[in-house]
Chain A
Amino acid sequence: MSGVRAVRISIESACEKQVHEVGLDGTETYLPPLSMSQNLARLAQRIDFSQGSGSEEEEAAGTEGDAQEWPGAGSSADQDDEEGVVKFQPSLWPWDSVRNNLRSALTEMCVLYDVLSIVRDKKFMTLDPVSQDALPPKQNPQTLQLISKKKSLAGAAQILLKGAERLTKSVTENQENKLQRDFNSELLRLRQHWKLRKVGDKILGDLSYRSAGSLFPHHGTFEVIKNTDLDLDKKIPEDYCPLDVQIPSDLEGSAYIKVSIQKQAPDIGDLGTVNLFKRPLPKSKPGSPHWQTKLEAAQNVLLCKEIFAQLSREAVQIKSQVPHIVVKNQIISQPFPSLQLSISLCHSSNDKKSQKFATEKQCPEDHLYVLEHNLHLLIREFHKQTLSSIMMPHPASAPFGHKRMRLSGPQAFDKNEINSLQSSEGLLEKIIKQAKHIFLRSRAAATIDSLASRIEDPQIQAHWSNINDVYESSVKVLITSQGYEQICKSIQLQLNIGVEQIRVVHRDGRVITLSYQEQELQDFLLSQMSQHQVHAVQQLAKVMGWQVLSFSNHVGLGPIESIGNASAITVASPSVRNGPESGSKIMVQFPRNQCKDLPKSDVLQDNKWSHLRGPFKEVQWNKMEGRNFVYKMELLMSALSPCLL
């Protein structure tokens, strides 16, 4: 054995300390190893004191036998000593099992080595390959996996399919229930939006505005009926509803109030023949049931009828300078001469015939939506007034009306007080005033815009105010020259457009009232533009250091202007006369010695007199360079001013 190379054997003890606890971060807490006394106690507990010393002898004999077999592979030096000791070995030592394992491992290895050496010779032993089943191809394990997965998935699928079946069944049941929806649940939905009451065995509803304060005598009742024309054999239509509403026949269809302003006077034969353009119905909320749209349309028709009834009553009763004409479904009045305001109730039914036309025509362009909207607002305001605290509550014995009117009898009010109580303006008057204002405003805007596009030299700018009243708007008009805005800003006008007049406030404090005539505004603006030119020259002279000799806003000399007055300014040398119609006339003075046609006088002999200023000559203004009047003036003045080196 000593010739054989030694094999290194690593020996590792089992874990020295037992793990008491593993912390959350992986640290191990070890149990403290047993001390000597503890170990001894543990071993002592193992000793079975009941057995005699015979067992000890047996044990001793057992160990002797083991000791003999011990090869002592690790330490050859101790071998001889150990043999001697082997015979007398009183107790087992801890490395005994290790020794046994090593011995058996050695034996095995030796046997293997021997067998391999014999097999190598092939004389006495040969290796015979063991027949094995052919190795399955690489996919085989995967197919197996696939099959097993499929099976497991099929099991899961089965469960899911069962569940899905159950769900579909319940959904279809629900669908069927929905289609055969309860009449009562639908009725409940209807009650959430509309007032219903039961009269006998009929269910009636109220779609009028009476509860909101209206005094219109229309009853506005609709009936709720069960929809029983359901054919169970055929497929149930999607929009099937077990409930149907029957609205009064005069509220069917859709209506709107058309308010328009026309310029031409009406032809007597044309009255009452308003084209009923069917306005496309406002889109109802998606998902709202058909009865809701039907009832809302009917309510709109009722409101339009009430508005028109109120307007026509006022048109007939109220005395005004120009009487209003009420023909069939149209009210015509003349807010301004040559202007016609027509308010008409357009009620179109839902016949199939009219629907054909509806797709062709669209809403007319002259319909003023603002006024229609305002009419709706005004009638609602009127409704609210009847419910306000000055009207309600009222004693049962008193007539319906304003609270103070009830006291007018007992407190002996005279006519002035009674008049002050009664509301001054009716719906028609208010709408006419609003229409007048709208028309005046649009016309003023058109006038200013046309002037701005037509005349380029002094520019006209209009800044409209965002905050307007129904009866008043305002606009600030500035007249400037391009490039000289900072110098020439003397013409700034504030126009307040009212119902019948336009009030102009000038920057210099003058207040002028213009009538509704369009020509007045135009003339006024033209005259302001002409004055601006002359003002501009004045400012320019100041800037350029020229002396202003005379300045007049309204000059009495020269050709008469048809609009406004001409204004003139004389600066040392160039002299300007500007009128709104005649345009501008600029004259320049030359010194006497440059004038050829001046007669020489005998009195003035000295040469110095020839440097005085001589007669004026007109400048050909259209040949001057410059994009606007002020620019041209500046060039002229700079050309004429002497350069001092």
Chain B
Amino acid sequence: MGVTCVSQMPVAEGKSVQQTVELLTRKLEMLGAEKQGTFCVDCETYHTAASTLGSQGWSAMVRSQLTATSTSQVQVILLPQPSQVAGIIGQTGKLMYVMHNSEYPLSCFALFENGPCLIADTNFDVLMVKLKGFFQSAKASKIETRGTRYQYCDFLVKVGTVTMGPSARGISVEVEYGPCVVASDCWSLLLEFLQSFLGSHTPGAPAVFGNRHDAVYGPADTMVQYMELFNKIRKQQQVPVAGIR
């Protein structure tokens, strides 16, 4: 697991999403990257249902549900945010995102926007089904990105098409620099590499880097970046309709 930067590539003028993706992949292949299969990152949104039992009752109910299933292994990574506990209990409308990444095939990620990110094994999905009463899936909320995976020496580049339902909404570009795990050490290198094939569309430093630039980078940070990307793309809902011809 190395430092990863996830960014969005805007669709080129007068071209469709597909064509832009092809352009990008051709550029990468000319650089000398070799194709190494495909990747997929998906995200489902849930919002916490209004709890009628109150905070204590809810947590007791959740606890009993957890012991009943007891098949999931979890490890919580707490991002240093103040209002995490308050965020979970009682407040309605809080969105929880459950994500999967094919790079970590046996893991499942659950995160809140400014809250903790949970890394669990794939049985977590089954658990979510059991918690239907408390987390309701938002309608038509599944968003995913699929594409090809390229290896270029120490860099792993993934160019994917972001789709929501049947329509393609944008392009995601993920670049991972394997050898380094501290973001601040290799950001300049990453930037240089991104410039080589993204050109003017090179993004700035991700927000995640700013928060913990000396701490060890983890998979949860990648998922946070993806979540931000997906949210941005969701908000851009209207714009691509005009762009696609």
**Residues of chain A having any CB pair with chain B under 8 Å:** 396-398, 406-415, 418
Contact = CB atoms under 8 A, between A and B. Distances in A.
Contacts of B220: 412
Interface string B103-116: 11111110000000
B106 A418 contact: yes
Contacts of B70: 396-397
Interface stretch (B118-126, B179-187, B189-197): B118-126
17 contacts: A397-B70, A397-B71, A398-B73, A406-B73, A408-B121, A409-B106, A409-B108, A409-B119, A409-B120, A410-B119, A410-B120, A412-B104, A412-B220, A413-B104, A413-B106, A414-B103, A415-B105
A209 to B, nearest CB: 28
Q: Considering residues A397, A407, A412, A414, which has the most beta carbons from chain B within 10 angstroms of its beta carbon?
A: A412
Contact of B219 (A397, A398, A412, A415): A412
B94 to A, nearest CB: 23
Contacts of B123: 409
A412 B107 contact: yes
Contacts of B71: 397
B1 interface: yes
Interface in B62-117: 70-75, 103-109
B218 interface: yes
A410 B105 contact: no
A135 B218 CA distance: 132
Given A409-B120, A414-B104, 16 more contacts: A397-B73, A406-B73, A409-B106, A409-B123, A410-B107, A410-B119, A410-B121, A411-B75, A412-B1, A412-B104, A412-B107, A412-B119, A412-B220, A413-B106, A415-B103, A418-B105
Contacts of B75: 410-411
B158 to A, nearest CB: 13
Contact of B121 (A396, A409, A418): A409
Interface string B1-20: 10000000000000000000
Nearest to B222: A412
A414 B122 CA distance: 14
A406 B123 CA distance: 12
B97 to A, nearest CB: 16
Q: Considering residues A407, A408, A409, which has the most beta carbons from chain B within 10 angstroms of its beta carbon?
A: A409
8 smallest beta-carbon distances between A and B, as pairs: A409-B121, A410-B75, A412-B219, A412-B104, A412-B107, A409-B106, A397-B70, A408-B106
Contacts of A414: 1, 103-104
Given A397-B70, A397-B73, A398-B73, A409 B122 contact: yes
Contacts, number: 48
Contacts of A408: 106-107, 121
A176 B119 CA distance: 74
Interface residues of B, number: 22
A415 B218 CA distance: 15
Contacts of A409: 73, 106-108, 119-123
For the residues of B in contact with A, the DSSP-based class is loop
B4 to A, nearest CB: 11
A155 B103 CA distance: 103
A588 to B, nearest CB: 65
Nearest to A395: B73
A411 B216 CA distance: 14
Interface string B195-217: 00000000000000000000000
Contacts of B105: 415, 418
Nearest to B1: A414
A409 B106 CA distance: 5
Nearest to B37: A415
Contacts of A410: 73-75, 107, 119-121
A406 B74 CA distance: 10
A52 B214 CA distance: 148
A81 to B, nearest CB: 145
A415 B123 CA distance: 19
Interface string B210-244: 00000000111000000000000000000000000
Contacts of B104: 412-414
A265 B121 CA distance: 48
Contacts of A396: 70
Contacts of A406: 73
A402 to B, nearest CB: 12
A20 B239 CA distance: 144
B103 A411 contact: no
A396 B108 CA distance: 21
A407 B73 contact: yes
Contacts of B121: 408-410
A296 B120 CA distance: 47
A401 to B, nearest CB: 11
Nearest to B108: A409
A411 B107 CA distance: 8
Contacts of B108: 409
Contacts of A418: 105-106
A306 B83 CA distance: 57
Contacts of B73: 397-398, 406-407, 409-410
B32 to A, nearest CB: 21
B241 to A, nearest CB: 36
A410 B71 CA distance: 13
Nearest to B176: A414
A426 B109 CA distance: 33
A329 B121 CA distance: 40
A509 B119 CA distance: 56
Nearest to A410: B75
A396 B69 CA distance: 12
A414 B101 CA distance: 10
Nearest to A397: B70
A406 B70 CA distance: 14
A413 B122 CA distance: 13
Q: Considering residues B73, B109, B219, which has the most beta carbons from chain A within 10 angstroms of its beta carbon?
A: B73
Given A397-B71, A397-B73, A418-B105, A412 B122 contact: no
Interface in B163-190: none
B151 to A, nearest CB: 12
Nearest to B2: A414
A398 B108 CA distance: 16
Nearest to B67: A397
Nearest to B69: A397
B235 to A, nearest CB: 28
A415 B107 CA distance: 11
Q: Considering residues A397, A411, A415, A418, which has the most beta carbons from chain B within 10 angstroms of its beta carbon?
A: A411
A260 to B, nearest CB: 40
A408 B75 CA distance: 11
Contacts of B119: 409-412
A113 B103 CA distance: 150
A338 B218 CA distance: 52
B207 to A, nearest CB: 21
Nearest to B156: A414
Interface string B43-77: 00000000000000000000000000011111100
Contacts of B74: 410
A409 B74 CA distance: 8
A400 to B, nearest CB: 13
A398 B121 CA distance: 10
A65 to B, nearest CB: 139
A414 B1 CA distance: 7
